[in-house]
Structure 1
Amino acid sequence: MNIVAQEVSLGTGTLKVMVKDSIDIQGMKTIAGCKALQDQAAATSNAKVIDLIVAADCTITAKTNLHELAFGITGINKNFGTPINSKYPELIPGGSSSGSAAAIAAGLADFSLGTDTGGSIRMPAACCGVFGLKPSYGRVSRVGVKPEQSSLDCVGPFAASVAMIETAMQIIDPSYQKIDALQAAPKLAFLKVDADPMIWDCIQHYFNQANLQLDEVAVNSFEDAFAAGMQIINFENWQAYAELTKTGKVSPDVNNRLLKSAETTFTQVQQAEKIRVKFKQEIDALLENYDALVLPTLPQIPPKVSDAEHTVAFLNLTALVRPFNLSGHPAISIPLEMETGFPVGLQMIAKQDADALLCAIADYVVNAAQ
């Protein structure tokens, strides 16, 4: 199924866990789906999240495949194989954490870990019909995760239920304290964004089933935040991977994106940082009045694998997820499905470091809609 990049047997617990192959495991090479990294030395120590998983009631069984260098959104990897989206086989698994999402959809693990720099957990979660959480920025340790430096990237879990997402968070974030039950119905608002009307109709129908009425709100800098997030990820990934473009071993799709990233200037990054501050303030202001904001994870139905050869042509698929990497707010994707059988992701956003509240709200909404 092209999900597994490397088989692992680490830990002796009952929970089966798979982790994205951009996360170090001692004695193994962290290849990140890239032939240019096959000749590097094995990791000399575990990433911090790996130590936490092994110390819990878990067994790590595999490292999962991904979009090369975690720098792509389709999940297609011609070097090591594209993970099959078992629930929707014709559609892309989503990237970059394609294998980690596909593993949950295929029932191969209790939870898996991915990374999310511009939607790379939430997008594949939506494509594969599973739950995926991008924690608050800085909440979960990135020590031992590629790229080494990032002002956007977060390590987070995939699972088949909110309950297992919370179990995973309690393991990888020792400060996480689960909220057993909300004392009252959460106050929610739809965040007005541009998405296919069929996507919005599916989400609205879901909340109608849950008997929840939502206000509608907007932020002025949403599109600017998307562009700013692109500038920063391009700048930071060029710093991390520029040398690999000289090897001739990076696939043309990713190599061309990296070379294009070299054109991003420090002045553009400075302007992006100003937008980061403005956008975060706008979202924070809304979250003073609402417990969570609601919007689609993806603006359209995921494309077919056969139509998604070039990442750049589909970067608009990250239009609704990337802004929250810029702001650092926690974001969860909940799997929905249209009557026509296509996957839809319901995304919810909460205050910075209110990850447990966000999961409690997600659980409340899922149960109310059943």
Structure 2
Amino acid sequence: MSAWVQRFAHGADGPAIAIKDCIDIAGLPTCGGCGALADAPPAERDADTVAALRQAGWHIAGKTTMHELAYGMSGVNAWAGTPLNPQDPLLIPGGSSSGSAAAVGSGEVDAALGSDTGGSIRLPAACCGVIGMKPTFGRVSRRGAWPRESSLDCVGPFARMMPVLVHVMAAIARDFDGGAAVAPMHGARIGLVATASDDAVQAALTAALQASGWSALPRELPGMQEAFDAAIAVINKETWNAFGDLASDSRLGQDVARRLVAASATTHGALAHAEAVRARFIAEVDQALDGVDALLLPTLPSLPPTLADVAAGHPVVALSALVRPFNLSGHPALSYPIPVPAAPGRAGSRVKAGLQLVGRRGDDERLCALALHLEQALRGPDQ
């Protein structure tokens, strides 16, 4: 199905960018991929990011579909439509920014904006074989994005090539240093985080790291699981605060309605514990970054499941195990698609894995420079 909610034929002559349907475009309703918001009034003004893109000469190509209320990881949406995964139409596109990732991956636009509250940019980027970046929390304005209040959510870009992603970041983050974002990173030192990921994903990561020429130092993040659980508690409470009044609306998808009702039971004690975990995990990530340019780990612990698996009840929340903790900590993180090599007893895969880089808070430019170096290393000197 199409990744689009609405497309525009006219606009600026610059490169084309799509906007996720939880980000305001003046004159259009912001429906969040949700039938319960189908009668929302048109937005009175552009979100700050949309206004900045227009000012920078981008052509706003339209709005993209998404997982309902940005409250799911599969990207499956019976009301707004489930976009086809451009890598393999049998696989989930990933959520919640499914349409933005699919539109970029299929080549329909040069770039797209999504939002990332629990991996919702990086996860679909990895599923659809494109680049996706969650900036440092607070680095990019959320004015005009839904939910209006969040301590986790970030607006960020998708692209197929790093120079394009840098171009978007330079437009939407006013203090973004474009020169630093393309600085040479040949001699970078990387903190390699061990994870319990599938063999194919680990092989892809190892091959990409070897191609990069970077030196790798082992790093540990023992608080990842606790941070994952804490981030779940925070997103549940904040999503209930934003959309709890829709829980009884018959137009709301049953899966999201059930999750909203369950989220209403999040206690003040659970939130207090989550905030304590947040403080500890921020310190843990900061310590792991000491002496290295960034941390490196998979985006997803496995290649994406099929739509049929999800329809049969295959759980998907664990797909966010390696991305969601960095929403809690607020560190910038970027997913880059990497090839899966063949191995004895295992063929290579035409579906790419995701390599995730995590940087110091406020050091988004260095992540971009590292990803640009990786892009050039993987393409080789003759490409």
Aligned residue identity for 1:146: W
- The question of 1:191 aligning with 2:187 is answered no
Residue in 2 that maps onto 1:272: 274
- CA–CA distance in 2 between the matches of 1:260 and 1:199? 33
What is the Cα deviation at residue 146 of structure 1?
Answer: 0.6
Equivalent residue number for residue 358 of structure 1: 367
Q: Structure 1 residue 56 and structure 2 residue 56: aligned? A: yes
Match of 2:345 in 1: none
Q: CA deviation at 1:58?
A: 1.1
Equivalent of 1:324 in 320, 326, 329: 326
Equivalents in 1 of 2:292, 2:21: separation in Å?
A: 37
State the alpha-carbon separation in 2 of the partners of residues 336 and 368 from structure 1. Answer: 11
Identity %: 39
Partner of 1:308, secondary structure, is helix
- For the 8 Å contact 2:8–2:61, the answer to whether it is kept is yes
* Separation of aligned partners in 2, 1:340 and 1:286: 32
Kindly report which structure 2 residues correspond to 1:73-222, keeping only aligned pairs within 5 A, or say none.
Answer: 73-178=73-178, 179=180, 180-182=182-184, 185-222=187-224
Query: Deviations for 1:144-189, whole angstroms, at most 9, x for unmatched residues?
Result: 1110000000000000011111000001111101223236511102
- Match status 1:40 vs 2:49: no
Q: Report how far residue 46 of structure 1 moved.
A: 1.1
2:286 pairs with 284, 297, 308, which one? 284
Cα separation, 2, equivalents of 1:203 and 1:301: 13
Instruction: Give the SS at the match of 1:242.
Output: helix
Q: Which amino acid aligns with 1:251?
A: G
Residue from 348, 352, 367 that aligns with 2:357: 348
Contact 1:9/1:60, CA 8 A, preserved across alignment: no
In structure 2, what is the Cα distance between the partners aligned to 1:38 and 1:325? Answer: 29
Whole-angstrom distance in 2 between the partners of 1:193 and 1:261: 28
Structure 1: stretches of 5+ with no match in the other structure: none
Partners of 1:13 and 1:56 within 8 A in 2: no
Partner secondary structure for residue 75 of structure 2: coil
Distance 1:331 1:311, change over 3 A: farther
- Matched residue type, 1:300: S
SS in 2 for 1:182: coil
* CA shift for structure 1 position 330: 0.4
| Mapped contact 2:186–2:373 kept (Cα < 8 A) | no
Tell me the residue number matched to 2:344: none
CA distance, structure 2, for counterparts of residue 14 and residue 83 of structure 1: 25
Equivalent-residue separation in structure 1 for 2:19 and 2:177 (angstroms): 23
Question: 2:113 is paired with a residue of what secondary structure?
Answer: strand
1:311 shift after superposition: 8.0
* RMSD, matched Cα: 1.4
Q: Is the 8 A contact 1:48 1:143 kept in 2?
A: yes
Q: Which amino acid aligns with 1:326?
A: L
The answer to whether the Cα contact below 8 Å between 1:33 and 1:66 also exists between their aligned partners in 2 is: yes
Which has the larger displacement, 216-225 or 116-125?
A: 216-225
Q: Alpha carbons of 1:215 and 1:207: their partners in 2 closer, same or farther (altered >3 Å)?
A: same
What SS is found at the alignment partner of 1:313? coil
CA contact (8 A) 2:231 2:328 kept: yes
Tell me the SS of whatever aligns to 1:158: strand
Contact 1:135 1:329 in 2 (8 A): yes
Task: Give TM-score, length-normalised by structure 2.
Answer: 0.94
- Does the 8 Å contact 2:93/2:127 carry over to 1? yes
- 2:343 aligns with none
8 Å CA contact 1:126, 1:345 repeated in 2 = yes
Number of residue pairs the alignment of both structures matches: 370
Alignment TM-score, normalising by the size of structure 1: 0.97
SS at 1:332's partner residue? strand
Judge which range, 63-72 or 208-217, deviates more.
208-217
Cα displacement (A) at 1:368: 2.4
**Unaligned ranges ≥5, structure 2:** 341-347
Offset at 1:128?
0.3
Deviations, residues 20-52 of structure 1 (Å, cap 9, x unaligned): 000011111001110100112111111111110
Q: Deviations along 1:116-165, whole A, 9 cap, x unmatched?
A: 00000000000000000000000110001110000000000000011111
Note closer, same or farther for the CA distance 1:144–1:312 as it changes in structure 2 (3 Å cut): farther
- Secondary structure (helix, strand or coil) at the match of 1:275 reads helix
Seen in structure 2, the aligned counterparts of structure 1 residues 184 and 192 have a Cα distance that, compared at 3 Å, is same
| 8 Å Cα contact 1:131-1:332 kept in structure 2 | yes
Q: 1:183 to 1:101 in 2, by over 3 A?
A: closer
Q: CA deviation at 1:341?
A: 2.1
In 2, the alpha carbon distance for the partners of 1:296 and 1:76 equals: 23
Which residue identity does 1:261 align to in structure 2?
Answer: A
